[in-house]
Amino acid sequence: MALLVICLRRLRPLAYPPSPRLTRALGLLVVGVLTGLALSLHLAQLPPFAAARGTSLREPPSELIARLDQEQSVLREGVETRRRLLAQVEQQAGSRGGMLAEIEHELALNRMLAGLTEVQGPGVVVTLADGDRPLGQDELPEAVIVHDYDVIDVINALWAGGAEAITINGERLVFSSYVYCVGSTLIVGDRRLSPPLVMAAIGDQERMARVLAQDPELEPLRRRAREHALVFQVEARRQVVCTSYLGGVAQRFARAGD
């Protein structure tokens, strides 16, 4: 604004009417300066970024993790409620005619195959947990804890043994599930889990147990279990329950073939 005043003061009086181009340029200059001044005043009144989001940038990591876990639980409960309501609507629609009933049956089958419905049946329960024995002279702490590759090897062995559904601590595994370590915890899908990890699998009990006992990829895990470096237990059960998957199922890259 001060610059504008100085410039205006240095303008000499015109002996003839100003040209339209000069008048338009001065008008745009005045509008631009006033707009910039108003915008700067508006930005000065805005709250800081962290305060606007209701989150302090100095929030302790433990409190941040706890808050995010609580928010995730609320969102998962909302997803479960909406899917339950959707199932009721689909059931009502399927009872109105033969064609709708056939579509409903096909939809229910695909939902089950996608892991979106709870299933139960005979199967096995695999327990993985960190070891509690003292470390050997040449051993590292990593030798007595469960890693993501241990979990992945067991999951692959269960699928190879004919598993029809698998859960880890109640988290259903689907086509988009992933497992990786974050410190002493594991991220399975969109949940943070800590050992002991209880993996429930529905399928042929004898076949899955045989693969878990003979798969060469699991020999390092079996050896560590024999050395009591960690817990690796397999138990056959007549009834295993695999809960439905509650996370997102959006596909980013896959599409139906032509």
Domain boundaries, the chain: 61-111, 119-242
Residue 121 bridge partners (DSSP): 240
Residues 6+ apart with CB under 8 A from 130: 144, 145, 146, 195, 196, 230, 231
**Alpha carbons 94 and 87: distance in angstroms, whole number:** 10
pTM of the model: 0.62
CB burial of residue 200 (10 Å; 0-12, 13-18, 19+): buried
3-state SS, one letter per residue, for the chain: CHHHHHHHHHCCCCCCCCCHHHHHHHHHHHHHHHHHHHHHHHHHHCCCHHHHHCCCCCCCHHHHHHHHHHHHHHHHHHHHHHHHHHHHHHHHHHCCCHHHHHHHHHHHHHHHHCCCCCEEEEEEEEEEEECCCCCCCCCCHHHHCCCHHHHHHHHHHHHHCCCCEEEECCEECCCCCCEEEECCEEEECCEEECCCEEEEEECCHHHHHHHHHHCHHHHHHHHHHHCCCEEEEEEEEEEEEECCCCCCCCCCCCCCCC
Please give the chain's pLDDT, 258 residues, in tens. 444 444 444 444 444 445 555 555 555 555 565 566 555 655 555 445 444 444 444 567 667 667 777 776 777 777 777 777 777 766 666 555 566 667 777 777 777 888 888 999 999 999 999 988 888 888 888 888 899 999 999 999 999 999 999 999 999 998 888 898 887 788 887 788 888 999 999 999 999 999 999 999 999 999 999 988 899 999 999 999 999 888 776 666 767 776
**What pLDDT was estimated at residue 217?**
93
Tell me the per-residue pLDDT of 156-201, one tens digit each, with 9 for 90 and over.
Answer: 999 999 999 999 999 999 888 889 888 778 888 778 888 899 999 9
The CATH number of the structural domain formed by 119-242 is 3.30.70.1880
